[in-house]
Amino acid sequence: MFAQAVRFQLKPGMVDEATEIFKSSVLPAVQQQQGFKRVHLLVDEENNRGIGLSYWETRADVDAIASSGFYQEQIAKFAAVFAGPPEREVYEIRAEA
């Protein structure tokens, strides 16, 4: 299994708005993607930052969301709340409990 981590900085006071965008728009879309397993949205409201963690069956599945433009479409939904471009990383999950 693979994980995509997206780290982002929000404009001050935008945690609730970003959470709503994620819940109402991104979550339903990502659940329909090939190989999707689960997702978590982690936020640090005090510092206006967060991490989105999504889990995928294969590396090909997580790569496909970037190469198809799906990832870019979802990130664009946050244009009004992000303080800058997010950082995207992909990891292979080697152990979990």
In a domain, 25, yes or no: yes
User: Is the residue at 20 inside a domain?
Assistant: yes
Residue 26 counted as domain residue: yes
Q: How far is CA 51 from CA 19, 45, 60, in A?
A: 11, 12, 22
Tell me which residue range forms the domain holding 23: 2-86
> Whole-model pTM?
0.92
How many domains are there within the chain?
1
pLDDT by position in tens, the chain (length 97): 999 999 999 999 999 999 999 999 999 999 999 999 999 999 999 999 999 999 999 999 999 999 999 999 999 999 999 999 999 999 999 999 9
**Residue-wise burial string across 70-84, b where 16 or more C-beta atoms lie within 10 A, e elsewhere:** ebeebbebbeebbee
Structure tokens at 27: 């979550």
φ/ψ of 9, rounded to 5, equals: -110, 130
